Amino acid sequence: MEEHTVFEAELISLILGFDLIRSVPRLCSATILIDNQAAIRAVARPRPQPGQHLVRLFHCTLDALRHQRCTLKLCIAWVPGQQDIEGNEAADEEAKRTAQGDSSAFSKPLLPLQDLPTSVAALKAA
């Protein structure tokens, strides 16, 4: 499996967050907290950039979730990193391990990581 940058790991964690939301029946609202402003900007205003294949997957997954759960209220919010927020460092480490294909201490994601698209740049480099 290809190595992922911290930025890509954050995007992957957002995508996997949708799978967790989808797995909870009758969930009315959800907030995903993330400490990476670049990832938030990337999904808010998609443009050609590293990781754009994951930004596209984010939007496809979000569209499918919205179609499945029309009334779901979803918020993605920034939280400051390194600010002693309980669980933040553990979440960062878990996102990095999961992005590298390590099976998580949490339940297995519904989206198999081998199904994540590979960037064109990574394919060319290989």
Q: Quick one: which of 80, 106, 86, 79 has its CA closest to 95?
A: 106
Q: Is residue 32 part of a domain?
A: yes
Q: Is residue 45 part of a domain?
A: yes
Other CB atoms within 10 A of residue 123 CB: 10
What is the number of domains present in the chain?
1
CATH code for the domain of 119: 3.30.420
Q: Is residue 69 part of a domain?
A: yes
Q: Is residue 62 part of a domain?
A: yes
Q: Is residue 75 part of a domain?
A: yes
pLDDT by residue (tens digit) across 69-114? Answer: 999 999 999 988 766 666 667 766 766 676 666 655 444 444 555 5
pTM score, whole prediction: 0.68
Q: Note down the domain range covering 29.
A: 6-125
Pairwise CA distance, residues 85 & 91, whole Å: 11
